[in-house]
Amino acid sequence: MTLEQALVLVRRLSPVDKARLIERLAPDIERELKAAQPTMRKSLRGLWRGLGITAADIAAARREM
């Protein structure tokens, strides 16, 4: 079943049944969102530390663009 097909059926419900549907779906959605929390990203600050990139290297890279 597609989202559009589900929406057609849901729109046929009474306002009370629509509210009941939301009440039943909300805990499932909340649980799924908590399970899908993104992992912490690693900071990229200092990633190139110690590589010895000079201003001349940066200028050369800009010229190549």
| pLDDT on residue 42 | 81
End-to-end Cα, the chain, rounded Å: 48
Query: Average of pLDDT values for 1-11?
Result: 96
Strand ranges in the chain using DSSP code E only, listed in sequence order: none
Distance CA(35)–CA(7), nearest Å, equals 25
Task: Kindly tell me if the per-residue pLDDT of 7 is higher than 90.
Answer: yes
**pLDDT band at residue 12 under the 50/70/90 scheme:** very high
Mean pLDDT, the chain, rounded, equals: 91
| pLDDT on residue 8 | 97
Distance CA(13)–CA(1), nearest Å, equals 17
| pLDDT on residue 50 | 82
Query: Average of pLDDT values for 39-51?
Result: 81
Q: Residue 34: helix, strand or coil by DSSP?
A: helix
